[in-house]
Structure 1
């Protein structure tokens, strides 16, 4: 069932007001009262659309995840072949996540405070990301860029790529990452590509 346009507008206003407060004070210190005050509405309005502050936070993070995928898709559309698409996917994905984490860190709010919530949302995206990588791998096999791979190999490799990206993301959350994160991403992707390239 579609949400009426006015309700969509109010939901977006709530998320935008909450996002400013989450960046300023963090998840734990932001209250429903503060969100309602920033919005210029009563708390009852918030509770009409969201059950809790955590649910609002999840909605804000989901929007950020959609933004990550939008940037990744744009980078892939500009890539000329499957190999470059896989590189563009990996590099753009990590860079966009890093930018979002850096933005949160510049507010002085420790990102690890909300890592559990973010990780829960990330798990929802795992299947989407695995499917996305599988399609890139299939494209490379069909175009002759990659060696012939069985469906099982494609599944396993797609899962490995997504897990590798998660592994590279983790230091970004915990200790602001490695100074040479871009080189590490390229090295991981090159290792994978060297194994499957014709």
Structure 2
């Protein structure tokens, strides 16, 4: 029974997400979600009291997907400098994918940025832990300089987050894609130890 319940709730969240993406939050009703899902109003109201509650569930679901994409990098058996590079790319690509997948909903995300940030705090803490792990490994392997790992992880995360709003607003476009490697180079330049060749 719990498995069936979970599947039903996930279905309702995904149906709501698609409707919000197509029409925008304000143009979707609970009736629309119930009818499109084929589950009916009674089932919908069993899980969600109102549209705001299911909207928050959609935000939460999308942020979890972003984190899972980012987390996948941490499982790879690669050197920490390459892992940090892939982490940065994956973070930005996951944001792009979420923005593109959600159409009209991205405007609501931007208007409700404080709500999004409240939902995101736990995930931010988890991502900081992933970055800290990469930095510690890099220091142990003498690839990265000794640093305040806690502070450096927070700075890296918030530097990435600072790039997200222009991306959501589509102000960076193709140039952003071209300059992703420059962003990585900028971050790594501050933390990598020079190689023996670079010291000559």
For Structure 1 versus Structure 2, the TM-score category normalised by the shorter chain is 0.7 to 0.9
- Structure 1 segment 50-89 matched on structure 2, within 5 A: 50-78=48-76, 80-89=78-87
The alpha-carbon deviation at position 110 of structure 1 amounts to 5.8
Q: If the length of structure 1 is used for normalisation, what is the TM-score? A: 0.85
Q: Number of paired residues? A: 190
Q: Is the CA contact 1:133–1:158 (under 8 Å) kept in the aligned structure 2?
A: yes
**Conserved 8 A contact 1:76-1:88:** no
**Structure 1 pair 61/24, CA: closer, same or farther in 2 (3 Å)?**
same
2:165 to 166, 170, 192: 170
1:63-85 deviation digits (Å, cap 9, x = unpaired): 22222222223344446211111
Distance, in Å, in 2 between the alignment partners of 1:38 and 1:21 is 9
Alpha-carbon separation, structure 2, partners of 1:143 and 1:163: 25
Give ranges in structure 2 of 5+ residues lacking alignment: 194-200
Q: 1:119 is matched with which residue?
A: 117
Q: Partner residue of 1:144?
A: 142
In structure 1, the gaps of 5 or more residues are: none
What residue number does 2:175 align with? 180
Residue 41 of structure 2 is matched in structure 1 by 43
Distance 2:144 2:137 in 1: 9
TM-score computed with the length of structure 2 as normaliser: 0.84
94, 105, 125: which is aligned to 2:92?
94
| Structure 2: distance between partners of 1:176 and 1:190 | 22
Secondary structure class of the residue paired with 1:175: coil
Aligned residue in 2 for 1:6 = 4
Contact between 2:66 and 2:98, CA under 8 Å: does it hold in 1? no
